[in-house]
Amino acid sequence: MNLIPSIAVPCTNPVVEILSQGDEVITGAVTDTNAAWLAQAVTPLGCRVRRHTAVGDRLEDIVAVLQETVARADIVLCSGGLGPTCDDLTAEAVSVAFALPLERDPVALESIRAFMTRRGRDFATCNEKQAWLPQGVTRLDNAWGTAPGFTLRQGRCWLVFMPGVPREMQAMFEHRVKPVLQADYRLCPPRWTVFHTTGEGESGLQARCDRLNLPVDIRLGFLARESGVAVKLGFADAMDEACRGQWVQAVGEALGACVVRVDSESTGKPVGRADAAGGEGATEPAALTQGAGDFQFAAVAGQHVFDDGQSQT
């Protein structure tokens, strides 16, 4: 595999856009699971996913999207369009978008031939198309299929092109792309605290939080489910643990008896008195359990016990 050159100036928590290609995606014939998987893979690392874009099999549309995204994003993760057929247009679109003529990669061609031989399949003339890559890109070898991926840089933006087959895309990301992300970017994993609530709707919970005048470096979000509403607090990297703990405590008290569980987004583990006391899995400030009022609770035998003595599984 070609080595991917390190970037000159590392970027902290890069802005990521995810691009999916194919008429089958934009018409709804296929559910775009690739975009969701990639977002779930890079967000815990510290990447800031800003947009998901889907584009059909029209060369001019793909070219336009590529030229737009490089102006906004630090990283663009693309899946699809690397196959051998006439509607696989990724390499051609990159060639047009960035004025990079296509060149046949002999290593890629031999890899495709070898893969077909191992599978007992004939090498069709159209398979050679997959070995034609834009000039100057870095090839990503595909040990799980025929289509090689590739990467290139345009200004500050690193573009990554992977196959659309989920199994191949996921393996290529884990083995070829993720190590570069972790080596070349300063990644600070996100810090979220999630209050799981019941008994009150989003508007009421928003009103409770509004009374606190949260600072601009705390991001507030809501996710409604049938079981209740999750209230999410996202914290800026610069906020120290003591300050974070104070705001977690304040929001917990404002939400009051609506709260049935509090999670740390980084681990997905419930946070309670046992954790704050220094037990295994402690992730949140001790302020979660040391304030006054209904917000105090403990994680005991899979239950969350509130200070009124009641419990909820």
CB 176 within 8 A of CB 141: yes
The pLDDT of residue 265 is: 59
Per-residue confidence in pLDDT tens, the chain, 313 aa: 344 444 544 567 899 999 999 999 999 999 999 999 999 999 999 999 999 999 999 999 999 999 999 999 999 999 999 999 999 999 999 999 999 999 999 999 999 999 888 888 888 888 899 999 999 999 999 999 989 999 999 999 999 999 999 999 999 999 999 999 999 998 988 889 999 999 999 999 999 999 999 998 899 999 999 999 999 999 887 788 889 899 999 999 999 999 999 997 553 344 432 333 333 333 333 333 333 233 333 332 233 333 333 333 3
Looking at the structure, tell me whether residues 167 and 221 fall in a common domain.
no
Looking at the structure, tell me whether residues 95 and 179 fall in a common domain.
yes
Looking at the structure, tell me whether residues 29 and 148 fall in a common domain.
yes
Sheet of 48-55, strands arranged across: 48-55, 15-21, 75-79, 157-162, 149-154, 138-140
Looking at the structure, tell me whether residues 117 and 219 fall in a common domain.
no
Looking at the structure, tell me whether residues 65 and 176 fall in a common domain.
yes
CB 133 within 8 A of CB 139: yes
The pLDDT of residue 11 is: 63
Residue 215 lies in a domain: yes
Neighbouring-strand partners of residue 218: 235
- Name the domain count of the chain: 2
Determine the structural domain holding residue 29 and report its residue range.
Answer: 15-184
Looking at the structure, tell me whether residues 170 and 246 fall in a common domain.
no
Residue 308 lies in a domain: yes
The pLDDT of residue 284 is: 38
The pLDDT of residue 271 is: 40
**Overall pTM > 0.95:** no
Looking at the structure, tell me whether residues 29 and 169 fall in a common domain.
yes
CA dist., res. 265 & res. 82, Å (int): 35
Residue 147 lies in a domain: yes
The pLDDT of residue 273 is: 29
Three-state SS for 148? coil
Residue ending a domain, among 127, 160, 184, is 184
Looking at the structure, tell me whether residues 143 and 282 fall in a common domain.
no
CA dist., res. 175 & res. 140, Å (int): 10
Residue 49 lies in a domain: yes
Residue ending a domain, among 184, 211, 232, is 184
Looking at the structure, tell me whether residues 87 and 170 fall in a common domain.
yes
Residue 237 lies in a domain: yes
Closest C-alpha among 101, 107, 151, 100 to residue 130: 107
The pLDDT of residue 304 is: 33
Looking at the structure, tell me whether residues 111 and 42 fall in a common domain.
yes
Residue 2 lies in a domain: no
Looking at the structure, tell me whether residues 139 and 154 fall in a common domain.
yes
The pLDDT of residue 1 is: 39
The pLDDT of residue 119 is: 84
CATH number of the domain where residue 178 is located: 3.40.980.10
CATH number of the domain where residue 196 is located: 3.30.70.2860
CA dist., res. 74 & res. 11, Å (int): 8
Looking at the structure, tell me whether residues 73 and 162 fall in a common domain.
yes
Q: Cβ neighbours of residue 190 under 8 Å, at least 6 residues apart?
A: 43, 44, 46, 234, 265, 266
The pLDDT of residue 4 is: 47
Residue ending a domain, among 184, 200, 223, is 184
DSSP states along 240-283 = -HHHHHHHHHHHHHHHGGGEEEEEETTT--B--HHHHTT-TT--
Residue 6 lies in a domain: no
Residue 154 lies in a domain: yes
